[in-house]
Structure 1
């Protein structure tokens, strides 16, 4: 076992993303473990000479030298590591315990058992190391799909450069079969894309001119050009990868407890092992030191808590990997753990339960000069990023002749926008916004099952624009699945009209619906819901205005890697597919992960306690002790990686 490996396989080491291995390869590679193989061959040959051939020459000191040669390839790296951690004050590391146990075995003449303890410990650590790398690779392979080149338009031609050198606003070209290197808006052409690296979706999606395509997507059939909207380090795929990297550092309560438990448990067992050797001298006659030392060594080997300390974080990490393969990014084991206890799920409406792609149903002009109204309305809304404004400007753009100059434009969060043109005050927004500015709509305030923008010029009703939005295909099924999983309340908070919100809520069978809420009112309402229902509350949203509510919830869920950057950064979980049904999938993964973690705890503690008892009574040898430590650790690891193969749909 090399020094590089021994550092990686420490039970106290953190799971990180350094130097991942190929997830398609074997758990351990033979060429990197020649020392354990050499040790194994020497051990098996020695056992054959000891118990089968039994030549006269195979006795001390030849026998001692032979088994020492078998011991050193696997034992020396561990002894050196034990010395390093001992100098740091860590007396009860597994390296130190294994060293003392094997020294004791050699002292009483149990050479084969001393070699076996260190050999199987090393092999077990190698399997642990490989399993951790496999778990890391399963996640990173899904996400680390950033291109190394970008074809950017400079000096009249497209030139290949590294994506880091491309700045926002430049034009890049994507050929069929190429992966998009940077986030951008399609300025020429349309094509179908494989979005699985970002969304987990197997079905390709088609994007048209003007729509946004993200880094990591694969262009399938046509040459397109993108206007870059994000730098390389701020691209969607880079941001997502950073989230998953950070996830390893956020521990679940169970994981934190086990680490604290191991630090107390190990020295207690070491003390008991010492007492097991020393105390019988006062009560047992005749007292045979070597016999009781052997029992103490068995106790010492069993005491290593590796099965607990490595398999539990690996279980959570496997759960995060399983979630990634289902298009769900969980930013830490603590959030994965919290998902299993969710009792209330609160939804935003637009972009979460509905598609958020609005189309204009009608534009009713209330002033005689229709052309002036359309020109002014277009000028007012064309600078807004609100989806309703974009849908409106797209709808009336062909009818616009000459837009007036706009000044003093101001966004009013959750209400509308105001500006001035030719000395006149322009207002566009919801009914509350109009009432606030004492605009008399003269009967033009209509009740519809869609969103409405009212437009006023100098306090006079100028136009009413109605929009429609569609409920997502899997929204109703998502609510049903959550109820089957034991979620007690489903609630919707919306900034849209109460009538529109209630219409959506009723069609989906939600338990409660609240409409016409500003961002701060959403946050206050969530606090009220948490106090009313208790338990763990999750909130799912996708917009900038959802960020405060996402932060306040016990589990914040951002809908879509294509949603607001602020929402994605604030959330604890990101549903990359934009499908509310994946919330139920996340809860299933969380519960499966928790089950596996507790199975590992029960397995490790049960076997250890049983063999500790047998060891104290002199009914267990170092071979059983090795199984109680390394064998159980391997079983726990195999159980932990099982979650990565499960189906959760």
Structure 2
């Protein structure tokens, strides 16, 4: 049973390709899995009845053959695995312990107990398999939302092809009720989507022309046309699947400790069992080899570390699965552990605490060629994914040909610089003007709202004022974090007045404004130097350095840049700040369940080990101590899937 945990997460690539095949045959194979245990159980029951009734035909030879036939369906696979392990040099595993204990039981004539140990061991394995399938259910559900066909427009015809064969720039159609297969820009005017597979939210979301549509969304109402801007393997959904499936490769410290512990613990237990068998010969009067061998066999059955080795990774895997159901993606079990220790959450402002849905409020352009300046600004901004850039593009709607843009550079924490036709165009914050030593009016510093400044050919050319909106759940998220005694800090590149206003609204005591990426890093390092365990939450490319430096980096995955998502340890798919609290609660619940399992396993096993060594526990108590505790631990581990967060 224990060894299965190491193979649960192998062959991810084949799972991607063959999950449909798996689903087709899954139900048919269930009865076959239980068949050996069923046969063994029936034969064991008949044997025990025959023993109790003392039937005349049930001679010692027939009794041995009957119990041996009952043993083989469940015992042979375990003995086979033990033999394979020995060939590989891995002698002291659970297969060896179970094989030795049950063969030894047969050797001293305790046939029913030998069969019972192996039968319950096998039943435990089946329960573990069912628990693993349940824990993997949410990830399988994600696999199911990746369509294997898509309708693409080619030469005025609609062709149904595999999404892998669709190129960037092509147009696809999605009918009402169909799943979107590829990321792209909506060409149709308006459509409503179910985004639950990506965000964990059941509320439908309406998208307008020009908005981003992601693979995995379900079109609810009308025929939609989408221009593809990402190949299949790079869609957000594909990356989500890759992240979740790879998450289990990164083991928590608890898992690593238990794995090392099991490797040391099992040989020690075997040595103690040998000692229990032979040492009493020198100290005990009326020494009976058979009695002490029986005690040693009981000791071996009890000592199998299955409950620990199985339930702990299953607990973490359950936590990762529960998080993915809420639209939260952990890149490793180790980050569940670290998140429970976090006592400071540092957040970016735009796109993290605010919606990042900026709207242009005011435009001030120096000189008479206002439309030309705006057209070139919009063309430059069209090359950026920043929410401010998108708002300006939406407001101006660029009309210029992209070919006149000959140079483009995004300066992190400053803005954009480009060459358009004969003009050098700059759009960004005041730091950008200072960097290039461009003089500007002092009145710019007095504008409280978010704004960008414009320079043409190293001369100040005006500014654009934009307004942002605080996310609906941001205030509650901050309040919940503070109730958990977690320090909240906001670091932003925005103006002091804007940052102060947001901080006051959200009741954030520490907020720092007008920060370049390297200054954000300094602030975060300062917290770590004060022995805070820090989680940083951000979404922009300029947040990638602080996300990397933090103990747990959390990225807003809906609007977040690829750089921040790639660097982060945890990704929140629907961009809701409240999911930070949910992630911490899931991490703490997972840790509680894991330590409950460790305590349960140790207490019961130590107690029954002492009783077994003293001859006060028989093989049946040993079965409970091993398989019973493992089953209880597994049932406890899958509880997290049903918890409310």
Instruction: State the TM-score, normalized to the length of structure 1.
Output: 0.93
* Cα 1:418–1:286 shift into 2, 3 Å: closer
Partner of 1:367: 367
- Which deviates the most, 561-570 or 196-205? 561-570
Retained in 2: the 8 A contact 1:36–1:122?
A: yes
Q: Cα distance 1:613–1:154, how it changes in 2: closer, same or farther (>3 A)?
A: same
Query: SS state of the match for residue 481, structure 1?
Result: helix
Distance 2:439 2:329 in 1: 48
Where do 1:197-236 residues align within 5 Å? 197-236=197-236
Residues 441 and 118 (structure 1 numbering): CA distance in 2 closer, same or farther, change over 3 Å? same
**Number of matched residues?**
637
1:218-238 CA distance string (max 9 Å, x none): 000011111111111111111
Which residue does 1:3 correspond to in 2? Answer: none
CA RMSD of aligned residues (A): 2.3
- Give the 5 Å matches for 1:168-179: 168-179=168-179
User: Following TM superposition, by how much is the alpha carbon of 1:191 offset from its aligned partner in structure 2, in angstroms?
Assistant: 0.3
SS in 2 for 1:313: helix
State how far apart, in whole Å, the 1-side matches of 2:121 and 2:93 are: 13
Shift of 1:159: 0.5
After superposition, what is the alpha-carbon deviation per residue over 1:202-229, rounded to whole angstroms, capped at 9, x for unaligned?
1000001100000000000011111111
Question: 2:102 maps to what in 1?
Answer: 102
Q: What are the Cα deviations for residues 304-341 of structure 1, in whole angstroms up to 9, with x where unaligned?
A: 00011001111111111111111111111100111111
Greater mean deviation of Cα atoms: 383-392 or 373-382: 373-382
Q: Structure 1 residues 544-553 or 9-18, which shifts more?
A: 9-18
Whether 2:525 is the aligned partner of 1:527: answer yes
SS in 2 for 1:538: strand
Q: What CA deviation, in whole Å up to 9, does each residue of 1:12-32 have, x standing for no partner? A: 545446688779x99x93332
Partner of residue 646, structure 1: 643
Matches of 2:632 and 2:437, distance apart in 1: 72
1:462 aligned onto 2:474: no
CA–CA separation in structure 2 for the residues paired with 1:144 and 1:274: 52
Check whether the contact 1:184–1:228 (CA below 8 A) recurs between aligned residues: yes
Compute the displacement of 1:369 (Å). Answer: 4.2
Deviation at 1:405, TM superposition (A): 4.6
| Residue of structure 2 in register with 1:560 after alignment | 557
Q: Secondary structure at the match of 2:60?
A: coil
Question: Does the Cα contact within 8 Å between 1:449 and 1:503 map onto a contact in 2?
Answer: no
Unaligned runs of at least 5 residues, structure 1: 1-5
Secondary structure in 2 aligned to 1:503? helix
**Structure 1 residues 265-299: Cα deviation after superposition (integer angstroms, max 9, x where no partner):** 11111111110110111111211111111101100
Q: What is the alpha-carbon distance in structure 1 between the residues aligned to residue 162 and residue 173 of structure 2?
A: 13
1:67-106 to structure 2, matched below 5 A, reads 67-106=67-106
Partner SS for 1:455: strand
Structure 1 186/422 Cα, relative in aligned 2: closer, same or farther at 3 Å? closer
User: Shift in Å at residue 429 of structure 1?
Assistant: 2.1
Q: Which moved more, 1:379-388 or 1:473-482?
A: 379-388
For 1:404 and 1:117, the matched residues in 2 are separated by 76
Residues of 2 paired with 1:368 and 1:291: CA distance?
A: 105
For residues 117 and 503 of structure 2, the distance between their equivalents in structure 1, rounded to whole angstroms, comes to 63
Is the alpha carbon distance of 1:64 and 1:477 closer, same or farther for their aligned partners in structure 2, counting shifts above 3 Å?
A: same
Q: Is the 8 A contact 2:406 2:421 kept in 1?
A: no
* Residues 307 and 629 in structure 1, CA contact (< 8 A), matched pair in contact too: yes
Shift of 1:570: 1.3
1:486-565 matches, cutoff 5 A: 486-487=485-486, 489-532=487-530, 534-565=531-562
1:39-84: CA deviation from partner (whole Å, max 9, x where unpaired):
11111001101102x1212122111111111111111111111111
Structure holding more helix per residue: 2
> What is the rounded CA distance, in whole Å, between the counterparts of 1:382 and 1:78 in structure 2?
63
Instruction: Tell me, yes or no, if the aligned pair for 1:330 and 1:572 is still in contact at 8 Å.
Output: yes
Distance 1:211 1:618, change over 3 A: same
Query: Does the CA contact (< 8 Å) of 1:67 and 1:115 recur in 2?
Result: yes
What 5-or-longer segments of structure 2 have no aligned partner? none
Residue 565 (structure 1) shift? 1.7
Deviates more, 1:605-614 or 1:133-142: 133-142
- Does 1:584 find its partner at 2:581? yes
| Residue of structure 2 equivalent to 1:33 | 34
TM-score, scaled to structure 2: 0.94
- Superposition map of 1:427-438 within 5 A: 427-438=426-437
Change (3 A) 1:638 1:386: closer
